[in-house]
Amino acid sequence: MSQPFKPSSAADITSGRSGERVEVRGWVARRHSVGGMVFTIVRDGTGYVQLSVKKGALGDEGFDAAKGATKESAIVARGTVKEDKRAPGGREVSVSEFTVVAKAESWPITRTAAKSGSYLFDKRHLSIRGPKAIAAMKIRTEVIGAAFDYFRENGFQLISAPSFVQAAVEGGSTLFTLDYFGKEAHLSQSAQFYEEAALPALERVWIFQPAFRAEKSKTPKHLTEFWMIEAEQAFVEQPENMKVQERLLSKMVERVIERRQAELKTLGRTLKQPELPLPRISYDEARSIAEKKGLGFEWGEDVPTEAERAVSLTQDSPFFLTDYPLTARSFYHMTYEDRPKVTKSADLIAPEGIGELATGGQRIHDYGELIERIRSQDLPAESFSWYLELRKYGMPPHSGFGIGVERTTRWIAGLKHIRSASLFPRTTTRLSP
């Protein structure tokens, strides 16, 4: 009696043995017929495998099914694995049974249509089946997975926090506002305040959840909804906070290099492991670099995008831009004892002109100092009441950061636009699909 057909993935088949009897389930990526043969490239969640269907090797019904299996039809086929140098992975399945499970209509994403980026994103529910979109999502999975591993290995607890909030963590200008049973509420810009509240309970925490910004900017690095990885630690000051960020980023890169070579190749990306410690460039140094390139800016301003880009082009690895002026940072930032206008903070910036991946810093932990800061910036103290109250009950020095998942994936995968790092991106002009 012959062996039963074993359900097998494309990856199983291309890395397995010849002679195995397999069942393939997937979607038709490409197909061509020559004489009495049909060659079908099938995609599943693991990759691509070639089926060769020979007239006479299966019933007429099976052969006609294979011949009529349009692009993106869902199919199930059974057969025997054979060596074939021309097939992806060097093996193909010589088919003895072929069934179309769900036939696809004529595929709307033609080569000509695919030249329009906005058409591809209008049809994103379909275009995500393309090899580049798949590669980007698999790299994103590794980026997130590396964070889960890093934080578990380093004793951080994973917390969650509400998305409906009242306080503005990162300023009022990018808040989404909504009606919450007659009260004004906002969508969370950052879970940082909740992480800080969790410190006396858990000491080291991290979080992985969506953040919302009503950014009007239409740029290759802004989404209105994105995923953020944030971490916060008690009894940790800014220098150590930067070490956590560089180790985390380094682990993300290492994981992608280790596991996603094929995907990097599909995207035409050469990714190098950055050497630690990453360079640290101060705000003042960045200002003089920018000035030499004719992109000078006033001390106290946030680093303008063009200047940040110019500095990033002088580096070939990610780097920290440190010591931002208080006027360029949110109210909660701690300043140096001997430099009251300079914050203990840094941005982690990707080279190649990509720009900011993370922002982090040390927070004010003293009650008097924080209330003073809130008052001096004319902020509504009542909306920060519980955040302030934390400072009355044992708040030690503490630091943390937030790193954008799509920005990091964009840099690691070498994507031109941040929207390609999101399965269903949200931007100022996109609410669908």
The residue (of 47 and 400) whose beta carbon lies closer to Mg ion is 400
Neighbours of 407 (CB within 10 A): 25
- Cβ 359 to Mg ion, closest distance in Å? 3
Which of 8, 192, 359, 408 is in the footprint of Mg ion by CB under 5 A?
Answer: 359
Sign for the pseudo-dihedral over CA of 198, 204, 208, 212: positive
Does position 409 bind Mg ion by CB under 5 A?
Answer: no
Sheet holding 280-282, edge to edge: 157-159, 204-212, 225-234, 398-404, 355-362, 345-350, 319-322, 280-282
Give the interface with ligand 4AD as residue ranges (CB under 6 A). Answer: 169-170, 189-190, 192, 213, 215, 222-223, 226, 228, 230, 356-360, 400-404, 406-407
Q: Which residue is nearest to Mg ion (CB)?
A: 359
- Nearest-angstrom CA–CA distance, 398 and 6: 54
The residue (of 222 and 391) whose beta carbon lies closer to ligand 4AD is 222
- Cβ 116 to ligand 4AD, closest distance in Å? 23
Which region, judged by CB under 5 A, interacts with Mg ion, from 244-252, 301-309, 313-321, 351-359?
351-359
List C-alpha distances in Å: 310 to 78, 284, 295, 352, 416.
56, 14, 8, 9, 18
- Nearest-angstrom CA–CA distance, 348 and 336: 20
The residue (of 69 and 249) whose beta carbon lies closer to Mg ion is 249
The residue (of 79 and 404) whose beta carbon lies closer to ligand 4AD is 404
Which partner from the list Mg ion, ligand 4AD, none does 402 bind, CB cut-off 5 to 8 Å by kind? ligand 4AD
The residue (of 39 and 212) whose beta carbon lies closer to ligand 4AD is 212
- Cβ 257 to ligand 4AD, closest distance in Å? 21
Which partner from the list Mg ion, ligand 4AD, none does 150 bind, CB cut-off 5 to 8 Å by kind? none
205 in Cβ contact with 156 (< 8 Å): yes
- Cβ 22 to Mg ion, closest distance in Å? 50
Which partner from the list Mg ion, ligand 4AD, none does 40 bind, CB cut-off 5 to 8 Å by kind? none
The residue (of 63 and 226) whose beta carbon lies closer to ligand 4AD is 226
List C-alpha distances in Å: 356 to 17, 222, 320, 359, 411.
46, 11, 9, 8, 10
Which partner from the list ligand 4AD, Mg ion, none does 228 bind, CB cut-off 5 to 8 Å by kind? ligand 4AD
Does position 330 bind Mg ion by CB under 5 A?
Answer: no
The residue (of 40 and 427) whose beta carbon lies closer to ligand 4AD is 427
Long-range residue pairs from 211-219, CB within 8 A, at least 24 positions apart, any chain = 211/402, 212/163, 212/176, 212/187, 212/188, 213/170, 213/174, 213/176, 213/189, 214/173, 214/174, 214/175, 214/176, 215/174, 215/428, 216/428, 218/427, 218/428, 218/429, 219/305
Binding site for Mg ion (CB under 5 A): 359
